[in-house]
């Protein structure tokens, strides 16, 4: 397995700026609490993975809550940069490649992404240009690359159910060899949140 860096993308814990779909049904305060729990559970799962260096990438590195996460889990804190999600992910992956490591990006709302899932992704990059963790909603919860792939981040309908299909189509045009991991699900709606809480209760 090549040297790998995992970029955990997260929003700073600010009420009204996180989990907007959850907030529609649960309220702003509950949505913020859910966001904090999802981020902290994700970091706990992914902070210590053999042969993988984990970094925390925030939309606002000056936020006190985000800085506390970095201190608590002793993670390098990086600033997301770019006009949209695609540009931000491309910047993060490129920073990994510039440091001579394959790069992977994950969010914080996919409970099935654990150390084993990340290690499978890193191994896939030994023999593939790109790895994707497809999500049930038509997007993806993980993307990794072993070389620059800017074409995968332009002209994508971010937040739609077409993200995965559009990404695969662009990869095919570019002649990229793509590995797909088992499908996962993410927490967007109140129903997803209840599913997540039930999963946590089962341990």
What per-residue confidence (pLDDT) applies to 202?
86
In tens, the pLDDT along 171-189 reads: 999 999 999 999 999 999 9
At 22-65, the pLDDT tens digits run 999 999 999 999 999 999 999 999 999 999 999 999 999 999 99
Q: What percent of the chain is predicted at pLDDT more than 90?
A: 97
pLDDT exceeds cutoff 80 at 69: yes
Residue 110 CB neighbours (<10 A): 23
- Note down the domain range covering 181: 4-202
Q: What is the pLDDT of residues 85-95, one digit of tens each?
A: 999 999 999 99
Please report which confidence band the pLDDT of residue 102 belongs to, taking 50, 70 and 90 as the band edges: very high
**E strand or H helix at 91:** helix 85-98
* CA distances (Å), origin 33, targets 13, 16, 38, 96, 166: 9, 11, 9, 31, 33
pLDDT at 146: 97
Q: What is the mean pLDDT of the chain?
A: 96
Cα dihedral angle (50, 177, 103, 43), rounded to 10 degrees? -60
User: How many domains does one find in the chain?
Assistant: 1
Domain CATH for 65: 3.90.550.10
pLDDT in tens, 106-143: 999 999 999 999 999 999 999 999 999 999 999 999 99
Query: pLDDT band at 201, cuts 50/70/90?
Result: confident
Would you state the pLDDT for residue 1?
A: 59
Whole-angstrom distance, CA of residue 54 vs CA of residue 50: 10
């Amino acid at each position: 397995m090549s040297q790998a860096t995992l970029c955990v993308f997260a929003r700073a814990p600010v009420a009204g700026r996180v989990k907007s779909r959850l907030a529609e049904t649960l309220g702003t305060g509950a949505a913020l609490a859910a966001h904090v729990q999802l981020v902290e559970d994700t970091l706990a799962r992914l902070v210590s993975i053999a042969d993988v260096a984990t970094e925390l990438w925030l939309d606002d590195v000056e936020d006190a809550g985000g800085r506390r996460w970095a201190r608590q889990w002793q993670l390098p804190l990086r600033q997301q940069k770019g006009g949209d999600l695609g540009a931000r992910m491309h910047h993060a992956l490129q920073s990994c490649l510039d440091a001579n490591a394959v790069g992977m990006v994950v969010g914080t709302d996919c409970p099935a992404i654990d150390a084993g899932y990340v290690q499978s992704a890193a191994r896939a990059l030994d023999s593939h240009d790109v790895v994707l963790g497809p999500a049930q909603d038509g997007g993806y919860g993980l993307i990794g690359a072993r070389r620059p792939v800017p074409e995968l981040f332009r002209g994508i309908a971010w937040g739609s159910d077409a993200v995965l299909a559009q990404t695969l189509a662009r990869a095919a045009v570019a002649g990229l060899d793509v590995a797909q991991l088992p499908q996962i699900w993410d927490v967007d709606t109140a129903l997803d949140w209840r599913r997540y809480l039930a999963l946590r209760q089962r341990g």
